Structure 1
Amino acid sequence: MIQNQYYYLVAGLPELFFEADNRKLDFVSIRDWLKQNLEGNDLELIDTLSLHYDNDNVLSFINNRNTFSERGLVPRDVYDDVKSNLKQFPSYIADFFTELYTERDEEVLANEDEEELQKSVEVGLYNRFYDYVASYNNEFLQKWFCFDRQLRNILAATNARKLGKEVAPILVGNDSINVALSHSQALDFGMRGELPLMDKLMPILEISNLFEREKKIDMLRWDFIDEANIFNYFNIDKVMGYLLKAEIIDRWVKFDPVLGDALLKKYFNELKGTFDLNAAFEEQ
């Protein structure tokens, strides 16, 4: 399929650098401006990169948290009556809510243990999410979300092991990597030399400074975007890569190193699911 070419748009984008002074960067303004200059199905493609905010909002709603990200695609007022507004959600979220409310009474759901919700409900939502984004016929999106899922699973498995928790229930998807993460007792889950991502990630996980470790993980994401777009110059893939980089920078613009290290230590000391690292970034 022939892709739209955005010569003037891409040529006019300011170059982004991970380590530069990016305090003037405004992620939402960049996203909105990019969308104003896209055509046809490309608008839907770039919207998929914001769906994780909707996922966070869904989980906040289910867990009765008073947090809501306006960066999601679904407005806040839609959550006032979820059952009546299912058609306003992306199809995977609508299906998720339908299944959830079919299996559980709302009152029971509201009082259910939060950690158990994180293990079953969150994984269920993200299984639907990754299946949904995989359905798009776009090579960059498929590469990005495959990488994203693998990275998150490895990090989740590593943290679960540190906390002495079972790994399998918190993994998203069903592949050979998850089998290794669930059953291997090796430090590298038996995948060093077999999975390129693991080869790059293992030295990072050995960094004792939690702030630096988190920063290196985002640099790994940054490098993946560059590698995935090495032969893309003016198409929607290049634009999506730019937006992902802007989002990475946006996260660090608000992040104070001293406070950040304390927040990360708290994150690793809390039970999984009881401390929201994304919210911690937003608060600063």
Structure 2
Amino acid sequence: MSSKYYYLVAGLPELSLEDSKLSYTVADFKTEIYSGLSTSDQKLIDLFYLKFDNANVLKLLKDKDAEIDTRGNYSAAELTEYISTLKEGGEISSKEFPAYLSVFILDYLNTPVESIVLYEDHLATLYYEYAMKCGNKFVSSWFEFNLNINNILVAFTARKFKWDIAGNIVGNTDVCEALRTSSARDFGLSGEVDFWESLVKINEIAELVEREKKLDALRWNWMEDAIFFDYFTIERIFAFLLKLEMIERWISLDKEKGNQLFRSIIESLKNEVQIPAEFR
């Protein structure tokens, strides 16, 4: 167990709330904590912030003058330039710009709308597959978990509307393969995927906000289990960031519930982070 980020992790519970507003944000993390991480750990954290770049790319493809979310890794000018380069048939190095985003932009420009279930889902699955190759077990598993969730939900939607399932599944996991090839009602996955039943129930929820909350609860519980034995590591910091973003999003939608959720995180962190005797 690394104690490399001992003081940083021990400091995370210091976060406080001001009324119904977070006093600490995902953007603050980038400016205050990011520089204190090792280069390899910064690259892992960059993977988290790419979710904002994903949303920004979608916005700019629809409207080149759109206001973007500044929490991403790339500026509006950089993203606009990349989109323009790809539109004109140019190439962009994968060292300069994540390969999956180039793939998505080209897909968006060249694919008829009706043949992609949802652009957001397609982009999310490309992102998860890309991030799974990061080399960190927890981070890779987190993205594989989300890739599988996304693909299963896409398969449910495609089957319901009699769309092509195989063509809308992204990735090379065993779950992806089963979704592409199985005609069984459960795609042969109910015994293989431990969250299958939860996902079937969530998929039946018609109310979108409620459905999204249930999905976040599923993700939250997965995270809690996955980092149970990680204390002062980059894994715990990554999970904290995921939770912080989740709550930030819910506070913007539902202040009271978001605040309750936030308080529960802080309490659980306080209970988990016990200061070793030699540091007292």
TM-score, L = length of structure 2: 0.72
Residue identity opposite 1:114 in structure 2: V
Aligned mates of 1:15, 1:186 — CA distance in 2: 50
Q: Which residue of 2 aligns with 1:251?
A: 249
Point out the more displaced range, 189-198 or 146-155.
189-198
* Partner SS state of residue 134, structure 2: coil
> Do the aligned partners of residues 119 and 223 (structure 1) sit closer, same or farther apart at CA in structure 2, a change above 3 Å counting?
closer
Q: Which residue of 1 aligns with 2:29?
A: 30
- Are residue 238 (structure 1) and residue 258 (structure 2) matched? no
Cα shift at 1:183? 4.5
Q: Deviations over 1:61-84 (max 9, x none)?
A: 344463532221111111343238
Cα shift at 1:13? 0.8
Q: Deviations over 1:7-65 (max 9, x none)?
A: 1111111289xxxx863253322343231332232111111111122223333334446
> Do the aligned partners of residues 28 and 169 (structure 1) sit closer, same or farther apart at CA in structure 2, a change above 3 Å counting?
same
Aligned mates of 1:125, 1:217 — CA distance in 2: 15
Cα shift at 1:213? 2.3
Q: Which residue of 1 aligns with 2:210?
A: 212
8 Å contact from structure 2 (residues 121, 150) kept in 1: no
Aligned mates of 1:85, 1:77 — CA distance in 2: 17
Residue identity opposite 1:50 in structure 2: Y
State the identity %. Answer: 34
Q: Which residue of 2 aligns with 1:198?
A: 196
2:167 to 166, 169, 173: 169
Cα shift at 1:221? 0.6
8 Å contact from structure 1 (residues 192, 199) kept in 2: yes
Aligned mates of 2:226, 2:248 — CA distance in 1: 21
Q: Which residue of 2 aligns with 1:188?
A: 186
* Partner SS state of residue 12, structure 2: coil
8 Å contact from structure 2 (residues 152, 179) kept in 1: yes
Point out the more displaced range, 148-157 or 166-175.
166-175
> Do the aligned partners of residues 203 and 122 (structure 1) sit closer, same or farther apart at CA in structure 2, a change above 3 Å counting?
closer
Residue identity opposite 1:75 in structure 2: S
Q: Which residue of 1 aligns with 2:262?
A: none
Q: Which residue of 1 aligns with 2:269?
A: none
8 Å contact from structure 2 (residues 54, 123) kept in 1: no
Q: Deviations over 1:89-110 (max 9, x none)?
A: 434157538x94xxx9xxx948
8 Å contact from structure 1 (residues 171, 178) kept in 2: yes
Point out the more displaced range, 243-252 or 177-186.
177-186
Residue identity opposite 2:103 in structure 1: F
Cα shift at 1:253? 0.8
Cα shift at 1:197? 2.4
Q: Which residue of 2 aligns with 1:46?
A: 45
Alignment of 1:82-161 (within 5 A): 82=82, 83=85, 86=92, 89-93=96-100, 96=103, 100=106, 109=109, 113-116=112-115, 123=122, 126-127=125-126, 129-161=127-159
8 Å contact from structure 2 (residues 117, 154) kept in 1: no
Aligned mates of 2:125, 2:31 — CA distance in 1: 25
Point out the more displaced range, 73-82 or 141-150.
73-82
TM-score, L = length of structure 1: 0.71
- Are residue 6 (structure 1) and residue 13 (structure 2) matched? no
Q: Where in structure 2 are there 5+ consecutive unaligned residues? A: 256-280
* Partner SS state of residue 57, structure 2: helix
Aligned mates of 1:205, 1:121 — CA distance in 2: 17
8 Å contact from structure 1 (residues 78, 85) kept in 2: no
Q: Where in structure 1 are there 5+ consecutive unaligned residues? A: 258-284
> Do the aligned partners of residues 256 and 242 (structure 1) sit closer, same or farther apart at CA in structure 2, a change above 3 Å counting?
closer
Residue identity opposite 1:42 in structure 2: D
Point out the more displaced range, 140-149 or 178-187.
178-187
Q: CA RMSD in A?
A: 3.6
Residue identity opposite 1:92 in structure 2: A
How many residues are treated as equivalent by the alignment? 244
* Partner SS state of residue 159, structure 2: helix
8 Å contact from structure 2 (residues 49, 73) kept in 1: yes
Residue identity opposite 2:243 in structure 1: K
Aligned mates of 1:178, 1:119 — CA distance in 2: 17
